[in-house]
Amino acid sequence: MSTVVDALIANIFDRTAENRDGTLADYIPELAAVAPDSFGICVATVDGHVYEVGDTRLPFTIQSISKPFTYALALADCGADAIATKIDVEPSGEAFNEISLDPHTERPRNPMINAGAITAAALVAGPDVDSRFERIRRAYSRYAGRALTFNDSVYASESRTGHRNRAIGHMLRSFGIIAGNPDEAVDLYFRQCSIDVTCRDLSLMAATMANNGVNPLTQDTVLDPALVERVLSVMSTCGMYDGAGKWLYEVGLPAKSGVGGGVIAVLPGQIGIAIYSPRLDSHGNSVRGVEACRALSSELELHFLHVTRAARSAIRARYSVSDAPSRMRRTLAERATLDDVGNRGRIYELHGDLLFAGAETAVREIGGSEEGLEVVVVDVRRVDEVGGIARRMIETLRADLTERGCAITFVDPVGLLGNTHSNLSGSTGRVYADLDAAVQWCEDILLDRYCSTARQSRSVAVSEHPVLSSLSPGQLEWFTDDLETRTYARGEYIVRRGDGACGLFLLLSGQVSTTVTDQSGAVHRIVTLSAGMSFGEMTVILDSRFLNDVRTDTPVTVAVLTADRYAEMTAAEPELKLALLERLAVGAYEQLDVMLRSVLGQGGSR
C-alpha cells in the first residue's frame, strides 16, 4: 500500500528524472555501456523499511562508494591509531584521482580519494589478495544483508585502463605508505570497485551506518559504533570530493558517490539514502543523485545539524478503545458493544521531536493499520517540535484515512499541527484539548454504527431511573414523594470539592462530569455521567464531604433525595434503604471498573 512517504519520494523522483545533464564515465569502457537514463531512489529506515521508486533492483558496480566500507574494515583490522599513520582525514580540495600526497605529512589526504582508498585496501588483513578481497566482499554483503557478487567484465575493463591508479600505487610505495607489491594493492582496489550492487543494497548499507553499525534487517552488528562515527565523519567532509564543502552546506548529510552512478547518504540514527543514475558531473558525482539528495534533504528536513532528539519511533503508546475506554459511563449494552468492536478504534500517542524520521514511523504505522480500523485518535500533547514536512505528512495521512472511510481526530491543545480550533466541516476536522474527550468521540462513532438498541437515553422519568429499578411499587412511591427536581445551565457547578453531604442526585437529563483540579490549575475528568445515572451517594451514606467537583457539560435536570430525607428513610424504611444501597453499590462498582480500565489500559498516560 502506498504511503505518504512513497508519494513524497515519487514526486522528487518525477521532477529529477527530467534532468538529463552529465555524461557517462567513459574512461572505464564498461561503465560507458550502461543505459544512461536509468534512475532509482531508495530510502531505508533504521527499522528496516525501504521506500523505493524507479530502477532500484538494477545491478551496477559500487565503484568509489566502496571506499568508506573498506576504510571501516581497515579500521577494524588495524585500529584507528595505526590507520592514522597511513591516511589523513582532511579534505583534499582536489579531484578524486589526483596523483598527490599531503606535502607536510606525505600521506593521502583522506580515505575517500583514490590514494587513500588504495592504501585502505592494502591495510585490510589477509595472507594474500584473494583472501583479502573475499573479506571485503563478505563485509559489503553483511552491510547489504545479502551475498553480493563480483563483476568480471567491469574488473577486466578497469584493469586494462587503470594506469593512473597504478601510478598512484607506485607513488604510495615509494613514500612507504604501502608495503610490498603496489600492483597487488591497486588490483585489490579494482576488485572492490567491481562488486555489483543495487540501489536497494546501497540504501541498506547506508542504513546500517545510520543504525550504528547494525544491519536493520538482519540485526547483524557489522561495525563497532565508535568506528561508525569515524567513517561518517570522513564521509561528511570528504565523501563528495572537491564538492564536499558545498554538499555539507546545502545537503548536510554524510555521503559518498561513485562513478558507477551511485550516491549514498546517511542521517545518523534515522535513515540511509541511495540513488542510482549514471550521468556524472565534472566532480564525478551523479547529476541526478546530487539533485535528488538535495531535494530530499530540503523537503524532508534531513540536514544532520537539525535532527530529532527522539530518533526512534515517535509513537509512545498505541491501544484500542476496548483497551482504554473513556470515562463516560455507558449502559451494559454499550459497554458490551465497545468490548466487541473497540479494536476498530485506535489511539496513538506521539512524543519527542516530530521531524521527518519521527513522522515517517508514525504515518507508516497509522496509515498501514489493519483492515477494519474505523476511527483514529492521534495525541500530540507530548510532542516538543513539529517540522513543516511532518505537518504535511500528517495532513496527507488525515486525507488518506478519510478517503478510506476512517475518521481521524487530533488531541492538540496548543495547535502544534496548525489546528488552532475544532472544525466539524472544514479540512482540519475535530481537534480536542484532552484525550478523554477524543476517546469518547471515538466511542460515540462506534456506538452509532454498531449499537442500535439499549443506548443511553437522553432523558428518563424518575420512576424509570435505573437506581430505583429494584424497588417495590410502595417503596418507589415513598422514595419519590419528596424528591426535589432541580435544573442547571451548562457550565454550572452543582457541588464543589469540600461541600458537605447534600443529597443523592439522580440525573434525569443532560450530562455532568466529576473533576479534580491539581495544584497547577489543570482540571482532570474522573468520570462523565448522563441521564439514568447518579452521584453524591458516598457523601450521603458516609455523611462526608465531596472530594471532587461536579459540573454540568450540558443543561441538566436532576432529582435530589436530600440528606435529611435519607436520614428519615434510614429510620422509617430500613428495607428500602437496603435495596437502594445494593443498587448504588452496583453502580459504584461499574464506575470504578470504567475508571480502572481507562487508566490501566493506557499506562496512566492521560
Burial level of 493, CB count in 10 A (0-12/13-18/19+)?
A: middle
Of 240, 236, 237, residue with least CA distance to 283: 240
Residue-by-residue DSSP string for 80-109: HHHHHTT---S---S-TT-----TTT-S-S
Do residue 475 and residue 579 come from a single domain?
yes
Q: Assign residue 94 a region: left if phi > 0, alpha if psi is -120 to 50, beta otherwise?
A: beta
Do residue 155 and residue 105 come from a single domain?
yes
Q: What is the DSSP letter of 315?
A: E
Do residue 246 and residue 143 come from a single domain?
yes
Residue 224: inside a domain: yes
Of 67, 61, 64, 65, residue with least CA distance to 31: 61
The number of residues in the chain equals: 606
Which grid cell is 575? 428495607
**pLDDT, mean of residues 218-240:** 94
Of 351, 214, 349, 316, residue with least CA distance to 269: 214
> What Cα–Cα distance (Å) separates residue 380 from each residue in 360, 391, 448?
15, 12, 26
**174 compared with 248, residue with greater pLDDT:** 174
Do residue 524 and residue 496 come from a single domain?
yes
CA distance 60 to 199: 9
**pLDDT, mean of residues 202-225:** 97
Do residue 466 and residue 394 come from a single domain?
no
Please answer whether residues 289 and 38 qualify as being in contact, where contact means their C-beta atoms are separated by less than 8 angstroms. Answer: no
Do residue 130 and residue 254 come from a single domain?
yes
Asked if residue 334 has pLDDT above 60, the reply is yes
Asked if residue 585 has pLDDT above 90, the reply is no
CA distance 548 to 192: 73
> What Cα–Cα distance (Å) separates residue 45 from each residue in 3, 212, 251, 300?
14, 12, 18, 14
- Looking at residue 542, what is its pLDDT? 82
**pLDDT, mean of residues 264-275:** 95
Do residue 240 and residue 389 come from a single domain?
no
The CATH number that applies at residue 353 is 3.30.750.24
Asked if residue 604 has pLDDT above 50, the reply is no
Sign of CA dihedral 358, 360, 363, 365: negative
Residue 529: inside a domain: yes
| Packing angle, helices 182-193 and 163-174, rounded to 10 | 140
Asked if residue 584 has pLDDT above 90, the reply is no
Residue 606: inside a domain: no
Do residue 168 and residue 237 come from a single domain?
yes
Number of domains in the chain: 3
Q: Which domain holds residue 423?
A: 315-450
- Looking at residue 606, what is its pLDDT? 47
pLDDT band at 97 (very low <50, low <70, confident <90, very high): confident
Please answer whether residues 80 and 228 qualify as being in contact, where contact means their C-beta atoms are separated by less than 8 angstroms. Answer: no
What average pLDDT does the chain have? 88
| Residue-wise pLDDT tens digits, 122-178 | 999 999 999 999 999 999 999 999 999 999 999 999 999 999 999 999 999 999 999
Residue 455: inside a domain: no
Please answer whether residues 323 and 236 qualify as being in contact, where contact means their C-beta atoms are separated by less than 8 angstroms. Answer: no
CA distance 202 to 140: 10
Which grid cell is 602? 493506557
Do residue 69 and residue 27 come from a single domain?
yes
Do residue 58 and residue 130 come from a single domain?
yes
- Looking at residue 424, what is its pLDDT? 46
The CATH number that applies at residue 477 is 2.60.120.10
Asked if residue 318 has pLDDT above 60, the reply is yes
Angle formed at CA 92 by CA 87 and CA 97, multiple of 5 degrees: 85
Residue 438: inside a domain: yes
- Looking at residue 426, what is its pLDDT? 41
Work out whether strand 375-386 and strand 345-354 pair parallel, antiparallel, or are unpaired: parallel
Asked if residue 301 has pLDDT above 80, the reply is yes
Residues of the chain with pLDDT > 70, as a percent, come to 92
Asked if residue 289 has pLDDT above 90, the reply is yes
Residue 457: inside a domain: no
Residue at which a domain ends, from 424, 450, 476: 450
Of 585, 589, 552, residue with least CA distance to 329: 589
Do residue 84 and residue 21 come from a single domain?
yes
Please answer whether residues 72 and 231 qualify as being in contact, where contact means their C-beta atoms are separated by less than 8 angstroms. Answer: yes
Residue 456: inside a domain: no
CA distance 549 to 512: 10
| Residue-wise pLDDT tens digits, 36-60 | 999 999 999 999 999 999 999 999 9
- Looking at residue 27, what is its pLDDT? 78
Residue 471: inside a domain: yes
| Residue-wise pLDDT tens digits, 504-557 | 899 999 999 999 988 888 888 888 888 888 888 888 888 889 999 999 999 999
- Looking at residue 537, what is its pLDDT? 82
Residue at which a domain ends, from 427, 450, 473: 450
Residue at which a domain ends, from 421, 450, 479: 450
Q: How many CB atoms lie within 10 A of CB 111?
A: 31
Which grid cell is 168? 598512484
Which grid cell is 106? 606525505
Of 211, 228, 227, residue with least CA distance to 219: 211
CA distance 483 to 468: 13
Please answer whether residues 469 and 587 qualify as being in contact, where contact means their C-beta atoms are separated by less than 8 angstroms. Answer: no
Asked if residue 427 has pLDDT above 70, the reply is no
CA distance 470 to 238: 83
The CATH number that applies at residue 92 is 3.40.710.10
Do residue 256 and residue 345 come from a single domain?
no
Residue-by-residue DSSP string for 552-567: ESS-EEEEEE-HHHHH
- Looking at residue 605, what is its pLDDT? 47
Of these ranges, 52-56, 281-285, 354-358, 470-474, the one predicted with the greatest mean pLDDT is 52-56
